[in-house]
């Protein structure tokens, strides 16, 4: 690409970044004002710091995509201060000053980053103004205000659905009056018959008026909601604008040549959905670069072109939804390594993992902290990417699954609503409460006899379509108790076959009420992530139901089936894991010790390899976290010495170092380290995640 075109592209991307950063900086300013008021009135400090952390984290990702390193670093520092203040009733004076300074520096750094290329950009060619009659007028609105207007419009659905319910009630009254005349053999022409007919005519006139009102209300609310949804729509290509440069930078960082392709990017999607999709897609692209695409020499040996390809396809799907496929032509999912990762992270036992199909094992990649990588870098390796994708898909009523072919590549399939509108689901009663499933979650409704159902529940398994599905009472899973047994011996029980991705299961409910349209009521703090619950749903008749999180229900089903097939063992009381931290930097050592102790570990510190070796002789440790570059005995020498002693063959070792060369990574792993984390990728949660993984 010519340099002028590249400059123009970057200027355009920075313009997008300016809008995004402006929104984030406004939120940061509002939260800082709340913190400043904390000296005069009660403030929920944790909630404010959580919001600051999330905004800083999002802004950091946007800055990283455009290599705006100053903004990225300042956001990282703000995250650290927010993390340190969580769990306390008040901030230290120095922490509040630090946050205030960081907010100011962020605004200045963002302005500098945007202004620098603008100064170099050529002035636009003057052009004749369009005729005044044809010139559209614009009003600048804050995106949050537009979003709130959209929510208010969507809330008009409640009276619209209620009007529909009133129509049904009026029809029932008319039918009841007719049945009353017939059942009581009221003579035609009698005063009572004439009175009932007059009432029926009045109700029919009322029904006609209700029908007209309902039609107008329905048309008006639909049009209003549609117009407001259109104002929130954007082309998918706008969301993907940062991807080409980001992929080029990351590919250069890991020493690979990668081509980016995208199709269908003119399709429109809701801005809120695009915002929720952007970070997961970035994470998955990073995974494809680091995990999926092989090095050039390895690709040549496999008969592939040395340059890898990552492609994204966007297409319209049924029901006003959008299908997104992200594909790489790399080596595919390493299923044996994923099996080992699932065992290592205690997702399942070795016996259970061995009995699973490859497809079921690939599904485990959605579990948090499951990663096949031993090296954590700034690019990937934390095992959180797919877990975040699933979480975001659940929140917006989407679906996601993976397909992979060894040696040919991996595809992530996603389906999301094009707009955040009303929720269409499947209603059911379980444990005496109304629950609502996402429409795509219910594969089939089947009827079982009471005897067959009880047998399946006793075994925890249901034979269905030549497969065996885990089964349980939905009321029991939700803590609502077992549905009452049917009065008749030949009673029929209702069973729903549910699916999420490639996983399936069966739940027994008291009744399936069929398709329903509901208004989604998001869970508010402190109920941000409730097990089994995605949100609350309000029906037109005023009933409130729980919109279920299908993945959680399937987790519970499969956990129950594992427990029923595994003999119960008495609980074992365990002490807190003991860790040995080794680093010659006093600051780094103190920071790591503080972080790990706060996470519940017992920690001993050593200043070099010799001191660490002495500590190992005297104490009992569950893992070693060591720097590499140290005096007396470095981390490589310590690793080799530990692995040469039969007592420590199984002792997990994590190397945390600033050495960036791939040869150093390979040397550490070859000597016997379980994981290798680069300090350039270091943040507080990374170290905790990595320690949990190796333990």
pLDDT tens-digit series, residues 626-684? 988 888 888 899 999 998 888 888 888 988 876 656 667 678 777 888 877 776 555 55
Per-residue model confidence (pLDDT) at position 328: 93
First vs last Cα of the chain: how many Å apart? 48
CB 345 within 8 A of CB 370: yes
Q: 369-398, pLDDT tens digit by residue?
A: 555 454 444 444 444 457 667 777 776 767
pLDDT at 375: 45
pLDDT of residue 329: 93
Strand duo 442-449 + 399-405: pairing:
unpaired
- pLDDT tens string 494-512: 999 998 766 789 999 998 8
> What average pLDDT does the segment 60-69 reach?
77
Q: What is the pLDDT of residues 319-333, one digit of tens each?
A: 667 889 999 999 888
Task: Please tell me the least confidently modeled range out of 119-133, 439-453, 549-563.
Answer: 119-133
| pLDDT beyond 50 at 236 | yes
Q: CATH topology for 578-694? A: Rossmann fold (3.40.50)
> Residue 196 — pLDDT band, cuts 50, 70, 90?
confident
pTM: 0.49
Which CATH class name applies to 238-417? alpha beta
Structure tokens belonging to residue 402? 């993976």
DSSP string, 248-307: HHHHHHHT--EEEEEE-TT-EEEHHHHHHHHHHHHHHHHHIIIIISPPHHHHHHTT--SS
Start-end of H helices in 466-602:
474-477, 550-565, 586-598
Q: Return the higher-pLDDT residue of 340 and 453.
A: 453
Question: Degrees (nearest 5) of the Cα angle 647, 653, 656?
Answer: 155
Are the C-beta atoms of residues 595 and 612 closer than 8 Å to each other?
A: no
Four-point Cα dihedral 608, 610, 611, 612, nearest 10:
80
pLDDT higher than threshold 90 for residue 292: no
Burial degree of 472 (CB within 10 A; 0-12, 13-18, 19+): buried
Residue 597: per-residue pLDDT: 85
Q: Distance (Å, rounded) from C-alpha 488 to C-alpha 505?
A: 27
CATH superfamily, domain at 423-565: CheA-289, Domain 4 (2.40.50.180)
> What's the number of CA atoms in the CB half-sphere (13 Å) around residue 105?
16
How many helices (H) and strands (E) would you count in the chain?
A: 23, 23
Q: Is the pLDDT of residue 120 over 50?
A: no
Mean pLDDT of 263-287: 82
Q: What angle do CA 315, 248, 370 make, to 5 degrees?
A: 70
Let me know the angle formed at the C-alpha of 574 by 572 and 579, rounded to the nearest 5 degrees: 150
Going by the DSSP 8-state scheme, the letter that residue 599 receives in this structure is T
Helix 684-694 vs helix 69-85: crossing angle, to nearest 10: 70
CATH 2.60.120.10 fits 3-120, yes or no: no
| Rounded Cα distance, 185 and 209, in Å | 31
Place of tokens 């800082």: 32
Distance CA(162)–CA(140), nearest Å, equals 35
Average pLDDT value for residue range 309-318: 88
Q: Is 192 helix (H, G, I), strand (E, B) or coil?
A: helix
What is the band of 123 on the pLDDT scale with cuts at 50, 70, 90? Answer: very low
pLDDT at 481 over 80: no
Task: Output the pLDDT for position 506.
Answer: 93
User: What number of residues does the chain have?
Assistant: 695
The predicted model gives 511-529 an average pLDDT of: 70
Q: How many CB atoms lie within 10 A of CB 232?
A: 20
Specify the DSSP class assigned to residue 482: P
Q: Cα–chain-centroid distance for residue 545?
A: 23
In order of 45, 141, 148, 421, the CA distances from 232 in angstroms are: 32, 11, 11, 12
Average pLDDT rounded to a whole number, residues 579-591? 82
Question: What is the enclosing helix (H) or strand (E) of 234?
Answer: strand 233-235
Peptide bond into 526 cis (omega under 30): yes
Across 474-597, where does the E strand assignment appear? Answer: 492-500, 503-509, 511-521, 533-538, 544-548, 578-582
Mapped onto helix, strand or coil, the DSSP state of residue 430 is strand
- The full DSSP string for 375-421 is EE-SSS-SS-HHHHHHHHHHHTT-EEEEEEETTTEEEEEEEEESS--
Largest CA distance in the chain: 113
């Amino acid at each position: 690409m010519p340099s002028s075109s590249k400059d123009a592209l970057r200027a355009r991307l920075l313009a997008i970044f300016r809008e995004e950063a402006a929104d984030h900086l406004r939120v940061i300013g509002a939260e800082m004002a709340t913190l400043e008021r904390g000296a005069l009135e009660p403030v929920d400090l944790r909630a404010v710091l959580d919001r600051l952390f999330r905004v800083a984290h999002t802004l950091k990702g946007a800055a990283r995509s455009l290599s705006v390193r100053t903004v990225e670093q300042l956001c990282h520092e703000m995250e650290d201060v927010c993390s340190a203040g969580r769990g306390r009733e008040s901030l230290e004076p120095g922490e509040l000053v630090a946050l205030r300074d960081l907010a100011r520096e962020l605004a200045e750094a963002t302005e500098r980053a945007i202004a620098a290329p603008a100064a170099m950009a050529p002035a636009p060619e003057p052009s004749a103004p369009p005729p005044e009659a044809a010139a559209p007028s614009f009003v600048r609105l804050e995106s949050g205000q537009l979003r709130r207007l959209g929510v208010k419009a969507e809330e008009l659905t409640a009276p619209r659905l209620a009007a529909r319910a009133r129509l049904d009630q009026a029809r029932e009254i008319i039918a009841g009056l007719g049945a009353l005349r017939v059942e009581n053999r009221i003579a035609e022409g009698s005063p009572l018959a004439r009175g009932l007919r007059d009432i029926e005519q009045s109700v029919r006139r009322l029904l006609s008026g209700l029908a007209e009102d309902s039609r107008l209300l329905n048309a008006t609310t639909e049009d209003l909601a549609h117009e407001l949804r259109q104002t929130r729509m954007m082309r998918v290509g706008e969301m993907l604008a940062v991807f080409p440069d980001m992929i080029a930078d990351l590919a250069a960082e890991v020493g690979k040549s990668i081509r980016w392709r995208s199709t269908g990017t003119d399709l429109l999607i809701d801005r809120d959905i695009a915002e929720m999709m952007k970070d997961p897609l970035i994470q998955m692209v990073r995974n494809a670069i680091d995990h999926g695409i092989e090095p050039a020499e390895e690709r040549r040996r496999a008969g592939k072109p040395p340059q890898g390809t990552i492609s994204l396809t966007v297409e319209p799907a049924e029901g006003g939804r959008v299908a997104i496929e992200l594909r790489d032509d790399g080596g595919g999912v390493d299923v044996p390594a994923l099996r080992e990762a699932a065992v290592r992270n205690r997702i399942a036992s070795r016996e259970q993992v061995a009995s699973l199909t490859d497809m079921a094992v690939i599904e485990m990649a959605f579990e948090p902290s499951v990663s096949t990588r031993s090296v954590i870098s700034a690019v990937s390796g934390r095992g959180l990417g797919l877990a975040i994708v699933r979480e975001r898909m659940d929140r917006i009523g989407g679906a996601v699954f993976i397909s992979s072919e060894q040696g040919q590549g991996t595809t992530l399939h996603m389906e999301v609503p094009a707009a955040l509108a009303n929720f269409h689901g499947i209603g059911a009663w379980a444990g005496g409460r109304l629950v609502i499933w996402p429409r795509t979650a219910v594969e089939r409704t089947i009827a079982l006899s009471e005897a067959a159902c009880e047998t399946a529940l006793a075994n925890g398994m249901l034979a269905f379509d030549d497969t065996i599905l885990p089964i349980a009472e939905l009321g029991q899973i939700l803590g609502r108790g077992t549905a009452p047994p049917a009065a008749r011996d030949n009673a029929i029980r209702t069973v729903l076959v549910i699916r999420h991705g490639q996983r399936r299961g069966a739940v027994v409910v008291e009744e399936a009420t069929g398709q329903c349209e509901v208004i989604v009521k998001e869970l508010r703090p402190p109920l941000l992530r409730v097990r089994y619950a995605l949100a609350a749903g309000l029906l037109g008749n005023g009933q409130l139901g729980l919109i279920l999180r299908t993945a959680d229900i399937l987790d519970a089903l499969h956990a129950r089936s594992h427990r029923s097939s595994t003999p119960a063992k008495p609980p074992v009381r365990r002490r807190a894991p003991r860790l040995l931290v080794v680093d010659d930097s006093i600051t780094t050592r103190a920071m790591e010790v503080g972080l790990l102790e706060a996470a519940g570990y017992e920690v001993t510190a050593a200043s070099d390899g010799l001191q660490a070796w002495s500590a190992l002789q005297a104490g009992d440790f569950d893992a070693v976290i060591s720097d590499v570059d140290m005096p007396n005995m470095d981390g490589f020498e310590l690793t080799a010495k530990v692995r040469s002693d039969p007592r420590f063959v199984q002792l997990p070792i994590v190397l945390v170092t600033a050495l960036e060369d791939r040869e150093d990574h390979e040397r550490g792993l070859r000597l016997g380290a379980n994981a290798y984390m680069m300090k350039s990728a270091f943040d507080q949660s990374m170290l905790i995640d990595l320690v949990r993984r190796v333990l």
